[in-house]
Chain A
Amino acid sequence: MRNGITRRRFIGTTAAGVALVGTSLPRTSFGAEKTLKIGFLAPLTGEVAGWGLPGLNGLEIWADEINAGGGIQAGGDTYMVELVPYDDEYLADKALRGAKKLVLEDGVGLIMMLGGSDAPAAVDFFTKNKVVSSTLLPSDLTDETLYHMAPCEVHPIYNVTGVEWLAENRPELKTAAICAQDDELGRPSVATYLAAFEAAGIEVVYQEFFAIDTVDFAPVITSMLATKPDILCLDTAYPDFVNFLTEQAFLQGFDGQIISCTFDFYPAVIEKVGTEFVEGFVFQFPDFDDPALNEPHINFPNPNGFFTAYEERYPGTWSAVSWEYAAIAVQWKAAVEKAGSVDPMAVFEAMKAGGRAPHVFGDANWWGTELFGIDNALVGDWPVVQIQNGKAVIVEYKSIIDWWAKHKDLMIKHFEALGEMWYQRKA
């Protein structure tokens, strides 16, 4: 008699284990007769997952609340929401494959994307097949992306509000050094910051694009600090990158102002560098337990409750995108109810009707022809957020449209210089 595990038993138990895992792990679905499917096509693994997975988490909380509340009413019918996620690993080929699966196999009514380098092929497919989709990066938009919209985040143009606020509140700051990752996230962001600093009368003394596969950020910060800037501007860069850059600034003894588009997972950074170092750090993405989100102009149901539910369910994973896809879903639900139909085109038209729509931070305009080639970006006010006593606090809501009215020539100049205007991106 042989002791231990036999090969047959091993194969048998492995197969049983795989079958068990397959049946026991939770699936993002809801068993109901009438369902409305929302596709989620974003990176859920890999280095960009920090801007995908937390968004899906937030979206699941929203969907569960909607379904628990009886679903969505449209045209006399009740619909339960079903989320269909697809991990595109931030790769164009995977995104296209995911787009085809979500449209052709799953029949989703809306597809939410992060946007960026994975988007072009998928968005072309959406346009050809009249599929409504959303992005967080309006730099995906051109005059041809007819059904692709940016109804929540209008990266990176809201960055002007942070610089404007800084110039008003800390007029002693005169110079800035900028770094960003060298891709379609970083380049338009730098163009925006260059325009914003120029408008604010702040001299940019250093500017660097680092490769997206950079692993050592010490030289980047060393070069920036060599120019002795009053302001370090760190974005746009992946969440890990911003955190590494901040840690390097701390290690190299920087004691000035830091501004960034995002500061995701900042409590983890504070654990390393201390509260004092990040005090006053300015960025653009609030925690939703902020009392300023309870103001009447906010178009997001119970933001504080949403934050509490998120923290309970996914502790320590709150990021810039945790609320964004849910905010798009809120707008989309309102449009479904307004259209009285679940037909994607009818919902899309309801969303865009009248050129104005309820953006999460207040009613806003469908905008963007000059900068993005199409009025598919919903632009209005955006919050300026500051770290105060180790916590993100909204210090003011500022108008992007007002800034644009005064300084649009600067924005266009810097976008053109970096080849980021929509007609340049199309070439």
Chain B
Amino acid sequence: MLQMSSQTALKSLGGAAVVAVLCVLPFVIGLYRLDVLIFLLINIIVAVSYRFITLTGEWSLGHVVMMGVGGYASALLAKKLGLSVWLAMPLGGLATAALAFLLAFPLFRMKGFYFLIGSFAAGEAIRRTWNHFRDPFGGPGGLARIPTPELELPGVGLIDFGDPRIYYFLTLAVVLVSIVVFYRLEKSRIGLTLHAIHWQDSLAESVGINIWRYKTLAFCVASFFVGLAGALLGHHITVVNPPQFSLAIMLYVLVWVIVGGTRTIAGPIVGVTVLSIVDERLREFQEYRPLIYGAILILTMRFLPTGLEDLPAKLIGLGRRLRRIRTTQTGS
């Protein structure tokens, strides 16, 4: 019991340290790197919310398109209807969740490979809708000049979130909220039920669990947050267009999550962070990126099938084994 509470305390301390570092970072790095960090934070929401869907045992190919739904919805609400960005962004998330609810009817009649292909088809249908209808979606060029958020505070004046430092903190706040929500949900009865559906859906159904309802819930919650991520992206770069939400981008999300691991919420965060750093460091070799990503994916699946999140445990185990071998050799 004592060990467990000290472990929890250690985790909390580690988490607080990471948050503290993240709060200091914008003041010690340049604006370009800060921008990279904002994109990384947005991608963390994408990866973490994607993992929440995988808890049900299903892997979707439409997650990035759902991100686009949030981006488009928020952009349209703010740009065409003149709604406050502060209202448009959560509404973008809600619109994504609502669409996810509708899609759940046909999609969760399928499982496994069929769900994967079904989600791809649904995503492509949505993407082609953006492409086809110039009004209101702007066609292939999408929507540009999307307003950035502003906040008028008494005594402080106008805070312009077009300033990347301020936008960074907004994004960080949304990331932290989303991580807490997903963590709490997973640790709740809902999360346990999702795990049960993942591993033994027939058994879960036989004890009265409504599988469709739980899968739909996970899909809608994940879609809300990825929609919010899309809104954050749109209002940051002031543009949304269909190529930003293509299957090619979705494949990168899959690689982030697989390389990071899906056992805990830390897995996708580690995956997207490590691969984003690799991406930036190897920018000069961009044309080899698919090759590098492929190699990383193969190596991870071969040597770390549970993902990078288990690397520390593996390294500790390896260290112990080596120490044991050395002790045995010294003894003999």
* A111 → B minimal CB distance (Å): 14
Q: Do residues A117 and B241 form an inter-chain contact, with CB atoms below 8 A?
A: yes
A96 to B234, CA, bound (A): 12
Taking CB atoms, residues of chain B closer than 8 Å to A100 are 31-32, 35
Which residue of chain A lies nearest to B38 when distances are taken between CB atoms in the complex?
A97
* B276 → A minimal CB distance (Å): 11
Taking CB atoms, residues of chain B closer than 8 Å to A120 are 141, 144-145, 238-239
Annotate A235-253 by CB proximity to B: 1 below 8 A, 0 otherwise: 0000000000000000000
Is B139's beta carbon under 8 Å from chain A?
yes
Taking CB atoms, residues of chain B closer than 8 Å to A212 are 131, 140
A105 to B39, CA, bound (A): 17
Other than the given A92-B240, A124-B238, 15 more pairs (CB < 8 A) read: A7-B303, A27-B284, A87-B283, A87-B287, A91-B243, A92-B239, A93-B233, A93-B239, A97-B32, A100-B31, A104-B31, A104-B32, A182-B132, A425-B141, A426-B145
Which residue of chain A lies nearest to B79 when distances are taken between CB atoms in the complex?
A427
Give B residues with C-beta under 8 Å from A.
30-32, 35-36, 39, 128, 131-132, 134, 139-142, 144-145, 233, 237-241, 243-244, 283-287, 289, 303
Partner of B140, one of A45, A117, A121, A426: A117
* B106 → A minimal CB distance (Å): 23
Which residue of chain A lies nearest to B35 when distances are taken between CB atoms in the complex?
A100
* A183 → B minimal CB distance (Å): 4
* A57 → B minimal CB distance (Å): 13
Taking CB atoms, residues of chain A closer than 8 Å to B233 are 93
* B190 → A minimal CB distance (Å): 33
Q: List 8 A-B contacts (CB under 8 A).
A: A7-B303, A45-B287, A92-B239, A93-B237, A97-B36, A100-B32, A120-B238, A124-B238
* A11 → B minimal CB distance (Å): 9
Taking CB atoms, residues of chain B closer than 8 Å to A419 are 134
Q: Do residues A183 and B36 form an inter-chain contact, with CB atoms below 8 A?
A: no
* A88 → B minimal CB distance (Å): 10
Taking CB atoms, residues of chain A closer than 8 Å to B285 are 21, 25
Is A300's beta carbon under 8 Å from chain B?
no
A231 to B134, CA, bound (A): 29
Q: Do residues A117 and B35 form an inter-chain contact, with CB atoms below 8 A?
A: no
Taking CB atoms, residues of chain B closer than 8 Å to A101 are 32
Is A90's beta carbon under 8 Å from chain B?
yes
A117 to B243, CA, bound (A): 9
Annotate A91-111 by CB proximity to B: 1 below 8 A, 0 otherwise: 111001100110011000000
Taking CB atoms, residues of chain B closer than 8 Å to A97 are 32, 35-36, 39
Contacts A45-B289, A105-B30 given; does A92 touch B244 at CB 8 Å: yes
Taking CB atoms, residues of chain A closer than 8 Å to B31 are 100, 104
Taking CB atoms, residues of chain B closer than 8 Å to A20 are none
Q: Do residues A117 and B141 form an inter-chain contact, with CB atoms below 8 A?
A: yes
Taking CB atoms, residues of chain B closer than 8 Å to A124 are 145, 238
* B133 → A minimal CB distance (Å): 11
A104 to B286, CA, bound (A): 21
* B33 → A minimal CB distance (Å): 8
Q: Do residues A183 and B140 form an inter-chain contact, with CB atoms below 8 A?
A: yes
* B285 → A minimal CB distance (Å): 7
Taking CB atoms, residues of chain A closer than 8 Å to B241 are 92, 117
Taking CB atoms, residues of chain A closer than 8 Å to B134 are 419
A155 to B140, CA, bound (A): 18
Q: Do residues A93 and B244 form an inter-chain contact, with CB atoms below 8 A?
A: yes
Taking CB atoms, residues of chain B closer than 8 Å to A64 are none
Taking CB atoms, residues of chain B closer than 8 Å to A87 are 283, 286-287
Which residue of chain B lies nearest to A90 when distances are taken between CB atoms in the complex?
B243
Is A184's beta carbon under 8 Å from chain B?
yes
Q: Do residues A121 and B286 form an inter-chain contact, with CB atoms below 8 A?
A: no
* A402 → B minimal CB distance (Å): 31
Taking CB atoms, residues of chain A closer than 8 Å to B140 are 117, 182-184, 212
* B211 → A minimal CB distance (Å): 34
Which residue of chain A lies nearest to B42 when distances are taken between CB atoms in the complex?
A93
Q: Do residues A104 and B30 form an inter-chain contact, with CB atoms below 8 A?
A: yes
A91 to B142, CA, bound (A): 12
Taking CB atoms, residues of chain A closer than 8 Å to B286 are 44-45, 87, 89
Contacts A97-B35, A100-B31, A212-B140 given; does A44 touch B145 at CB 8 Å: no
A104 to B132, CA, bound (A): 37
Annotate A115-143 by CB proximity to B: 1 below 8 A, 0 otherwise: 00100110010000000000000000000
Within 8 A of B (CB), among A204-246: 211-212
Q: Do residues B39 and A93 form an inter-chain contact, with CB atoms below 8 A?
A: yes
* B7 → A minimal CB distance (Å): 30
Taking CB atoms, residues of chain B closer than 8 Å to A27 are 284
A329 to B162, CA, bound (A): 32
* A117 → B minimal CB distance (Å): 5
Taking CB atoms, residues of chain A closer than 8 Å to B142 are 92, 117
Taking CB atoms, residues of chain A closer than 8 Å to B238 are 120-121, 124
* B128 → A minimal CB distance (Å): 7
A183 to B36, CA, bound (A): 28
Annotate A409-427 by CB proximity to B: 1 below 8 A, 0 otherwise: 0000000000100000110
Taking CB atoms, residues of chain B closer than 8 Å to A7 are 303
A86 to B289, CA, bound (A): 14
Q: Do residues B244 and A182 form an inter-chain contact, with CB atoms below 8 A?
A: no
Q: Do residues B139 and A183 form an inter-chain contact, with CB atoms below 8 A?
A: yes
* B28 → A minimal CB distance (Å): 15
* B148 → A minimal CB distance (Å): 11
* A208 → B minimal CB distance (Å): 13
Q: Do residues A121 and B39 form an inter-chain contact, with CB atoms below 8 A?
A: no
A47 to B285, CA, bound (A): 17
Taking CB atoms, residues of chain B closer than 8 Å to A183 are 139-141
Which residue of chain A lies nearest to B240 when distances are taken between CB atoms in the complex?
A92
A105 to B141, CA, bound (A): 28
Annotate A13-28 by CB proximity to B: 1 below 8 A, 0 otherwise: 0000000010001010
Highest count of chain B CB atoms <10 Å: which of A27, A105, A117, A419: A117
* A95 → B minimal CB distance (Å): 9
Q: Do residues A44 and B35 form an inter-chain contact, with CB atoms below 8 A?
A: no
Within 8 A of B (CB), among A169-215: 182-184, 211-212
Q: Do residues A182 and B131 form an inter-chain contact, with CB atoms below 8 A?
A: yes
Which residue of chain A lies nearest to B233 when distances are taken between CB atoms in the complex?
A93
A192 to B303, CA, bound (A): 57
* A295 → B minimal CB distance (Å): 37
Partner of A182, one of B139, B284, B289: B139
Q: Do residues A211 and B243 form an inter-chain contact, with CB atoms below 8 A?
A: no
Within 8 A of B (CB), among A368-427: 419, 425-426
* A56 → B minimal CB distance (Å): 11
Which residue of chain A lies nearest to B127 when distances are taken between CB atoms in the complex?
A213
Highest count of chain B CB atoms <10 Å: which of A89, A92, A182: A92
Q: Do residues A121 and B237 form an inter-chain contact, with CB atoms below 8 A?
A: yes
A90 to B249, CA, bound (A): 13
